[in-house]
Amino acid sequence: MTAGNGRREGEKGCIRLGGIGKNYSMIKVNITINSIKERIAALAGADVTVKLNLGRNKYVTFPATLNGVYPSLFTVSPFDKNFLGKTAYSYSEILCGRVKIMPIAAGEAEKA
């Protein structure tokens, strides 16, 4: 009997995904809202780099301080002197890939 790729099921190197046309590599298995909350809580008060996906291949990246960690959102304060105030993001925005938070290394924080 042949699998969807033309090889027999018993042949060496045949990989069976469980369904034809399914893309199982797109599912993020180990990432949950609770794990994201724990990672953000560990970065509270630290200098971070925020990368926003604005859609249509447009990205904005800026250094900031992670100020507040709350049950449903977190706030960051950008280092830019022209920007007054805080910006709030929800944990689901990290889960869906709209926001990425990366810690700034100690040497890079002094440059910013």
Domain ranges of the chain: 28-111
CATH of 28-111, one of 3.40.50.1980, 3.30.70.120, 2.30.30.100, 2.40.110.10: 2.30.30.100
- Of 4-18, 37-51, 75-89, 96-110, where does mean pLDDT reach its minimum? 4-18
Under the banding of pLDDT at 50, 70 and 90, the label for residue 85 is: confident
The answer to whether the pTM exceeds 0.75 is: no
Each as own residue / partner, the long-range contacts of residues 71-76 (CB below 8 Å, 24 or more positions apart, any chain) are 74/40, 76/48, 76/50, 76/101
Q: What span, in angstroms and rounded, lies between the C-alpha atoms of 87 and 100?
A: 14
Output the six-digit token pair for 104. Answer: 């700034």
pLDDT at 90: 96
Tell me the per-residue pLDDT of 11-68, one tens digit each, with 9 for 90 and over.
444 444 444 455 555 555 678 999 999 999 999 999 999 999 999 999 999 999 999 9
